[in-house]
Chain A
Amino acid sequence: MTERTDNFIEGIWRQNPVFVMTLGMCPTLAVTVSANNALAMGLATTFVLVFSCLLVSLMREIVPKEVRIATYILIIATFVTAVDYVIQAVSLAVYEALGAFIQLIVVNCIILGRAEAHASKSPPITAAVNALGMGLGFTLGLMALGCVREILGAGTLFGFSLFGAQFQPWVIMVLPPGGFFVLAGWLLLFNWLRQRGEQTASPAPQDTGGTHHGH
């Protein structure tokens, strides 16, 4: 795997913001009641992430470290405002459904985290590619929650009915507890997969108990 592909894949799988780093839990739990909302939120965050990281990376030589946080927040807030306008122009229904969570992308720790940890130390293309991977990984995480919650909670996927009118929705899935349950289910699955992967990678397991992080 070349370095560039790895840089891109990192956010999607190895360092997935939702399932591995468990960052940005507020939108992850709050707006994933339907696949549509999850997709919109994921794409909006990806947009902000890519452009903020690009700009931060371009300005990394001229911004003194004393004011870097102020600068990053300013840049992030700018793109969040822009994406807020864009969503209003694209679909009012999505805008109503996401509500305050669009503006709250400003305080999504993934974005400031990537700006600080990666973009401020990397050339623009690398930073943007890494941010794109992270954004897509976040979108993937939100979609994983959104699809399950919409299928169980409403019997639909992207608004299309899957089981006909006789389906009994599990109302809990579109309520906040449902978000926690589905997230827990996915985390269980991914941790189990990782354990399995580690076991097959090293036939004599050295660390079956203690050293797993993320539990």
Chain B
Amino acid sequence: MPPPKIALRAGPYVKAPRDVATIMRHVVYSLLPVCVFFIYQYGASALLLLLTVTLSCLATEVVLHRAARQQKTEGKWGEGEGRREKGKTSGCSNHWRFDLTLPPSPFSLFPSDWSATITGLLLALSLPPGFPLWMGALAGIAAIGLGKALFGGLGQNVFNPALVGRAFAQAAFPAAIALYTPAFLPGRFLECIPGTLTLPFLLAPEIAPWLHALHLDTWTGATPLGRWKFEGLTVPASELVTAMTLRATAGVAPGIVLLGGLYLALRRFLDWRIPVSILGTSLALAGCFYLYNPERFPDPLFVLFSGGLILGALYMATDMATSPLTARGVWLYGALIGVLTIVIRYFGGLPEGVMYAILIGNAAVPLIERVTQPKPFGHRKAESRGLRVEVRGLNGKTASGVLLSPQPSVLEPKPSILEPQPSNAPHAISSMTLVRTLGLTALLCGVIIVAAYQLTFAAAQDNRRIALERTIFKLLPAAQRIKAYYATETAIHPVDSAGSHPNSVKFYATFGGENQFTGIVVEAAANGYSGPVRLLYSYSPECACVTGLGVISLKETPGIGDKIITDRVFLDNFTRLDLRLDAALQTLAHRVVAVRHGSKSQPWEIDAIAGATVTSRAVARAIDDSATKLLPRLLPMIETVRAP
């Protein structure tokens, strides 16, 4: 029989002329003007940053792509040994084997879609232009490695890779990522911003001398959002859109990003509903806040055009792999990101919230898709008596269905068919035995605990005393002898035993040579950002003020909250912090408060550390609390305490 002349083929028969690579390529085209303007703003540093980050992303992609492809090839087209494994590997091709021998041709392994280029460009555009190149390269590796390859490559990732890279950089190098330099400097095309060429693993140099040479001493490195958050200053939206003035510059210009996004939306390369939903929600919410209190909250247009909101809404939130597929879900997703952005910006610790808002939005996508799933025509609700079952296969796919009229055995326990067999059953152990065993064990354990306590008590006590003395002598170098007291509601007692006194304030009178009174050191504590902050502060009755601050224990974020130990400007607050009492000697004349960085005007105010406001407030609260409790009781008896 001759072979049939009609070739039988499965659909689809008509293909759209666009594939992933086409769409990605157009996204890159639309980003090019943004990149050009970024380079025009910041010069050589911006160019180097864009190149480094993008190359780092591409290199990571190639290496990991190769590792993953190696595995796939074995399962599908491999010869010899590979073919034998076909049946085993095809079902779970995400088991990687890291075999890094050289490929036959480097180009054959180059990923043909442009997704890693987009990730690199977006990541670079979301970083400050003077960001050290080695940190940028590391962020690129994190973006592709952690954000994409780990999930299984393009289309499998849960989070936008560029934002994963940026979140990594934000957590790893919080100081460098917050430092923006002025745009449009005269020599920007020939000279780099000092941080750019930092050697790998080293600190970026201080930019103050560089700024001084450019006569820009007042530049703080804060973005418009940062200045609004910590100093209460806003910039008109008209300046922010083009970012052409010095005070409005921070990264890319929203105006050009909008044009690029418009192009993509018109060509249907991005879902216009996502940016419309994000920007609309944040504009509406910011408008509500603005109408409620124009003093405290900025005008909505400032919110819209500051920071990375435009870039994030148009290019990052619209990432096809990490945004919902359902029509209603898209609106919901955008609204979630918009609301989160405003909430984080207004009430969070950081000035910018777009990055975390989009990442949280990404995480919510499966849930959003689930609740907005359109109903198929003719779909009925599952029968009430049916048992809904969902099966998850090894390949990650799920199937669900309704088990109608379930078997009784599934839901109800069967009556036991085992007859009681008294002959072979073990004897029940008598209660006496159980109690005796537990009692004996408890006795033995008690003996061990008491022995350990007795053996270590003296040494532990010594350790505590030494640690305390060290802190006190650091605060009051003239002190040589310490006498401990505690103040209760009614009186002041010397501490004679190791007993604890709830609700009392512990303090120490210190004496120097020849029993000369040198000052009082008071214990204070309050809850900080991630646990209690325990402090000691020295109090001088002569000036009725705090003269020094020491930290006993602290669990705040390293590099941020623990600045209260090292920050010179912050510690200067405590050389003469006013603690005078009111006329009736009943409470403090002025409560100790932490105020926004740079706005201290009264001697009882504490100039908070920018970015560590929560910890600064905790210090203020701790001192205020203990001084309010202690001083009204201490001052009438100060002479007794002063006497040696």
A64 touching B429, Cβ below 8 Å: yes
Is A213 close to B, CB under 8 A? no
Q: Mark A165-180, 1 if CB is under 8 A from B, else 0.
A: 0111111111101000
B88 touching A85, Cβ below 8 Å: no
B460 touching A171, Cβ below 8 Å: no
B445 touching A209, Cβ below 8 Å: no
CA of A75 to CA of B441 in the docked complex: distance in angstroms?
A: 8
CA of A204 to CA of B433 in the docked complex: distance in angstroms?
A: 58
A64 touching B433, Cβ below 8 Å: yes
For the complex formed, measure the closest distance between the CB of A181 and the CB atoms of chain B, giving whole angstroms: 8
Is B174 close to A, CB under 8 A? yes
Taking A74-B442, A96-B553, A209-B92 as contacts, is the C-beta distance between A172 and B434 under 8 angstroms?
Answer: no
**Which A residues lie within 8 Å of B449 (CB)?**
78, 81-82
Is A77 close to B, CB under 8 A? yes
Is B85 close to A, CB under 8 A? yes
How many B residues touch A, CB cutoff 8 Å?
49
Interface residue ranges of B540-568 to A (CB < 8 Å): 553, 555, 557-559
CA of A103 to CA of B132 in the docked complex: distance in angstroms?
A: 42
Chain B's closest residue to A153 (CB) is B558
B553 touching A89, Cβ below 8 Å: no
A interface secondary structure, majority: helix
Is B173 close to A, CB under 8 A? yes
- Choose one: A55, A71, A88; the contact of B460 (CB below 8 Å): A88
CA of A192 to CA of B67 in the docked complex: distance in angstroms?
A: 13
- Choose one: B172, B201, B433; the contact of A172 (CB below 8 Å): B172
A170 touching B453, Cβ below 8 Å: no
A175 touching B453, Cβ below 8 Å: no
B437 touching A170, Cβ below 8 Å: no
A177 touching B171, Cβ below 8 Å: yes
Is A201 close to B, CB under 8 A? no
CA of A162 to CA of B380 in the docked complex: distance in angstroms?
A: 68
How many A residues touch B, CB cutoff 8 Å?
49
Taking A71-B438, A89-B460, A89-B463 as contacts, is the C-beta distance between A168 and B204 under 8 angstroms?
Answer: yes
Q: Mark A19-62, 1 if CB is under 8 A from B, else 0.
A: 00000000000000000000000000000000000010001001
CA of A144 to CA of B172 in the docked complex: distance in angstroms?
A: 20
**Which A residues lie within 8 Å of B467 (CB)?**
92
For the complex formed, measure the closest distance between the CB of A83 and the CB atoms of chain B, giving whole angstroms: 8
CA of A173 to CA of B132 in the docked complex: distance in angstroms?
A: 19
B445 touching A77, Cβ below 8 Å: yes
Is B296 close to A, CB under 8 A? no
B437 touching A215, Cβ below 8 Å: no
CA of A119 to CA of B433 in the docked complex: distance in angstroms?
A: 22
- Choose one: B92, B203, B434, B441; the contact of A168 (CB below 8 Å): B203
A171 touching B174, Cβ below 8 Å: yes
For the complex formed, measure the closest distance between the CB of B230 and the CB atoms of chain A, giving whole angstroms: 20
Is A66 close to B, CB under 8 A? yes
A63 touching B95, Cβ below 8 Å: no
Residues of A with Cβ closer than 8 Å to B?
55, 59, 62-64, 66-67, 70-71, 74-75, 77-79, 81-82, 85-86, 88-92, 96, 99, 153, 163, 166-175, 177, 181, 192, 195, 204-205, 207-210, 212, 215
Q: List 20 A-B contacts (CB under 8 A).
A: A59-B441, A64-B434, A74-B442, A74-B445, A75-B441, A85-B457, A92-B463, A99-B555, A168-B176, A168-B203, A168-B204, A171-B172, A172-B172, A175-B171, A175-B557, A175-B558, A207-B88, A208-B85, A209-B85, A215-B95
Residues of B with Cβ closer than 8 Å to A?
81, 85, 88-89, 91-92, 95, 97-98, 132, 135, 146, 168, 171-174, 176, 198, 201-204, 429, 433-434, 437-438, 441-442, 444-445, 448-449, 452-453, 455-457, 459-460, 463-464, 467, 553, 555, 557-559
- In the complex, the 4 A-B pairs of residues with the closest C-beta atoms, listed nearest first: A89-B459, A82-B452, A89-B456, A78-B445
